[in-house]
Amino acid sequence: MKLLPLGDSAVVLELAAEPDVAALRRVRTLAESLSRIPIPGTVEVLPAFGTVTVFLDVKSGTGVREVGEALLARAAESASGAPFDDARVVEIEVCYGGAHGPDLAIVAAKTGLSPEEVIARHSGASYRVLALGFTPGFAYLGGLPPELVTPRHATPRTRVPEGSVGIGGRQTGIYPQSTPGGWNLIGRTPRRLFRPELDEPALFRLGDRVRIKCLTPEEFKPEQVPAVEASVQNADGACLEVVRAGPLTTVQDLGRVGHRASGMPLAGAADSFALRVANLLVGNPESAAGLECALVGPEIVFPEDTVIAVAGAGFESIPLWRPIKVRAGERIAFGPIQNGCRAYIAISGGIDVPMVLGSRSTYLPAGLGGFHGRVLAAGDRVPVNRPLRRDAPGRWSVDRRMLPDYGPKATIRVLRGAHADRFGGKWIGTPFTVTRQFDRMGVRLKGPPVASAEGDYRNSGVVAPGTVQVPGDGAPIILLTDSQTIGGYPRLAHVIAPDLPVVAQLRGGNEVQFAEVSQDQAEVIRFACEQGIAILREGVARIYGKR
């Protein structure tokens, strides 16, 4: 067994180097034990391949080392497990080649087989689900014939169609949603693999056997699933009226904790620090839902007297990091965002959209959560809870010393990743520039290529917001809150939790350099950041408590 820290907020326990059936049995047994009786200071468990990953509560004082020691002890107690029920077999229909499999010829050329031979061998194999991850419901399937092993693309596609069947190294899998991805696409299924309205949203389970049935293009009919439209009207009927929405305004809270095992990303606010502080300033719980705006803010009419706060990047004419009194019927045009990428608007009482899988956050790739699973648009009426506060208590703001160092030139503190030794140390302190490819999934950098000492044919591994991956082209990608839960590219480093808000505020043309810190240093920085928020929480409670 081997412990591998995943930054300063998770611990990976490798139980076996290869994810065979015996390893899956041990993984499942330990994960079930940890789900029943969590390790103190942890919030989530992710079993995948031959590993079990435990995520820490970053707001707690729990450290990576003590969680790792507890994880090893629990693993020793769960040394064996019940065998899988091999009676469960999932059959998936796949149409190969043509528009559904644009990389079939590439796989054929790289493997020395004909396209027909690739189809026959891929469809004739017996597969087993080794992990769920990358996106909600994405199953990593073991059992790919060795002659079909094909490296991932050096540069990922920006969009892979829903249902695409791909090969990435020694693995094969199916994309449940339309997302970026670097696998070789050889076919497509019409089946829906993830349905959040169901009690068990993912079609696959860890350990399932999977068989493939070939379809002709004429037989390919996308699965029809009844639309489930969740109501977004609250009992009070109070709604924000959206006059203009900006290009990417969404409802966000602190994310969907507890569903990474089925491939659901954390989601939630990209700059969670800003949303937490904005909520405190209006008297809300830190986890209340607010608005996240990227690049340009919305224009909104407020239904009642209330208190709002803006945090993160700012707007030219709106005060930042302090409570603001708003009158019923007042119309505010927030305008372009200054000195960053994302601003957060908290409204006293919070936004009252339905909970989906335990969160109100919007996850755009799957079209779920938030306001009908999408960005806001002109004419929307977004429900809000009755205000907790209707008057801002004086003119005061957050102490600037506790704020992250937002700016066009950022030094990001990182811990070394699982594959850092392959890359040497020249990437530390090297200036990189943020490209135009930056969104809630990640930030792509350009600069001197970060070259690996060897190719990557390993199985995919667990990643999280903050993981720095390096595709074959050597251009690092810093993952953000909507990122996959499992990734296949080498993991160079991991951004420490207090610096993730800085990454979330980067935009095209900004300059970034990495600074390495130790695990002890990372935890001291994290604890200091949380102490600052705790002091603010107590101060706000005293201010509002006097009224």
Q: What's the confidence (pLDDT) of residue 493?
A: 96
CB 248 within 8 A of CB 295: yes
CB 509 within 8 A of CB 252: no
Task: Look up residue 286 and give its DSSP letter.
Answer: T
CB 323 within 8 A of CB 309: yes
pLDDT tier at 457 (50, 70, 90 boundaries)?
very low
Alpha carbons 91 and 260: distance in angstroms, whole number: 24
Alpha carbons 410 and 57: distance in angstroms, whole number: 26
Q: For the packed helices 104-111 and 115-124, what is the interaxial angle rounded to 10 degrees?
A: 90
In this model, does residue 189 exceed pLDDT 60? yes
Q: What's the confidence (pLDDT) of residue 129?
A: 92
- The token duo for 485 is 């839960």
Q: In a 10 Å sphere around its CB, with 0-12 CB exposed, 13-18 middle and 19+ buried, how is residue 458 labelled?
A: middle
Q: How far is CA 227 from the centre of its chain?
A: 25
pTM for the whole structure: 0.89
Task: Look up residue 150 and give its DSSP letter.
Answer: B
In this model, does residue 456 exceed pLDDT 50? no
For the chain, percent of residues with pLDDT exceeding 90: 72
Strands (E), 152-225: 157-160, 164-168, 171-174, 179-181, 184-188, 209-215
CB 39 within 8 A of CB 77: no
Per-range mean pLDDT, top range of 115-124, 206-215, 526-535: 115-124
More confident residue, 106 or 155: 106
pLDDT in tens, 300-317: 999 999 999 999 998 988
pLDDT in tens, 268-289: 999 999 999 999 999 999 999 9
Q: What is the DSSP string of 108-141?
A: HHHHT--HHHHHHHHHHS-EEEEEE-SSTTPEEE
Q: What's the confidence (pLDDT) of residue 22?
A: 82
pLDDT tier at 455 (50, 70, 90 boundaries)?
low
Alpha carbons 250 and 273: distance in angstroms, whole number: 17
pLDDT tier at 412 (50, 70, 90 boundaries)?
very high
Question: Who's near 406: CB < 8 A, 6+ residues apart?
Answer: 312, 313, 339, 340, 501, 502, 505
Closest CA to 176 of 451, 363, 454, 380: 363
Rg (CA), the chain: 24
pLDDT tier at 61 (50, 70, 90 boundaries)?
confident
Alpha carbons 370 and 374: distance in angstroms, whole number: 7
Residue 542, CB-side half-sphere exposure with 13 Å CA sphere: 6
CB 62 within 8 A of CB 41: yes
Q: Which residue has the tokens 């994309």?
A: 175
Question: Who's near 52: CB < 8 A, 6+ residues apart?
Answer: 12, 13, 15, 27, 30, 31, 34, 45, 46, 71, 75
Taking CA atoms, 78 is separated from 68, 73, 97, 240, 519, in Å, by: 15, 9, 45, 51, 28
3-state secondary structure at position 364:
helix
Q: What is the mean pLDDT of the chain?
A: 91
Q: Which residue has the tokens 């700012």?
A: 314
Alpha carbons 96 and 476: distance in angstroms, whole number: 32
Q: In a 10 Å sphere around its CB, with 0-12 CB exposed, 13-18 middle and 19+ buried, how is residue 238 labelled?
A: buried
Q: What's the confidence (pLDDT) of residue 236?
A: 61
Alpha carbons 5 and 44: distance in angstroms, whole number: 15
CB 132 within 8 A of CB 206: yes
Question: Who's near 193: CB < 8 A, 6+ residues apart?
Answer: 137, 138, 139, 163, 174, 176, 202, 203, 204
Alpha carbons 181 and 172: distance in angstroms, whole number: 13
